[in-house]
Amino acid sequence: MTNQLPHEKGFHVSWDQLHRDARALAWRLDGNGPADGGWRAVVAITRGGMAPAMIVARELDIRTVDTISIKSYNHQTQSKPQVIKSPDMDLIGDGTGVLVVDDLVDTGRTLEVVRQHMPKAHIATVYAKPQGRPQVDSFITEVSQDTWIFFPWDMALQYVEPYRGTD
């Protein structure tokens, strides 16, 4: 299963922007956990969910953090999501009170796999594309389906030619 649709646009996210957006996500989630106990753990979908999950856990003062590692893409080429590492299921149970955090939802296939593992967890991403929106419970910013999101860990500062060029 592959998705080779071209990504016409690029959305470039700086560390500063990611920090602001992940904080906004945390503030949106604050107080929305189950009435009897609130959020009891954060699960990061590695690797992209790790930085946002750390920021959410810090804002909401959640110290129990686990990971589920799912690989779906090699650069911009999608394949069937593979679970490379599962979380501690004794801790997670059916997912009640668990906040699952990822950087983005695109087609939603990664989150379909997560839902099978933790049906009652709350799934939150910082960014969302329209096709994946039904799979996500909370997100901050939507971008169009033909946009590729570039994260700060995939970029570097580099020289740019002046607009007028030089002799």
Ligand X SMILES: Nc1nc2[nH]cnc2c(=O)[nH]1
Q: Is 109 annotated as a binding residue?
A: yes
Task: Report the residue from 95, 109, 126, 127 that binds ligand PRP according to the rule CB under 6 A.
Answer: 109
Binding mask 8-47 for ligand PRP (x = CB under 6 A): -------------------------------------x-x
Catalytic residue among 21, 88, 90, 106: 106
- 103 lines the binding site for ligand PRP (CB under 6 A): yes
Using CA atoms, how far apart are residues 158 and 37, in angstroms rounded to an integer?
Answer: 47
Alpha carbon 12 to its chain centroid, in Å, reads: 15
Task: Report the residue from 25, 56, 106, 121 that binds ligand X according to the rule CB under 6 A.
Answer: 106
Task: Report the residue from 15, 27, 73, 153 that binds ligand X according to the rule CB under 6 A.
Answer: 73
Binding mask 42-81 for Mg ion (x = CB under 5 A): ------x---------------------------------
Q: Is 148 annotated as a binding residue?
A: yes
Shortest distance in whole angstroms from residue 37 CB to ligand PRP: 27
Within 118-157, which residues bind ligand PRP (CB under 6 A)?
A: 132
Distances (CA, A) of 43 to 10, 69, 145, 154: 28, 10, 26, 22
Q: Which residues bind ligand X (CB under 6 A)?
A: 73, 104, 106, 148-149, 151
Q: Which residues does the annotation mark as catalytic?
A: 102-103, 106
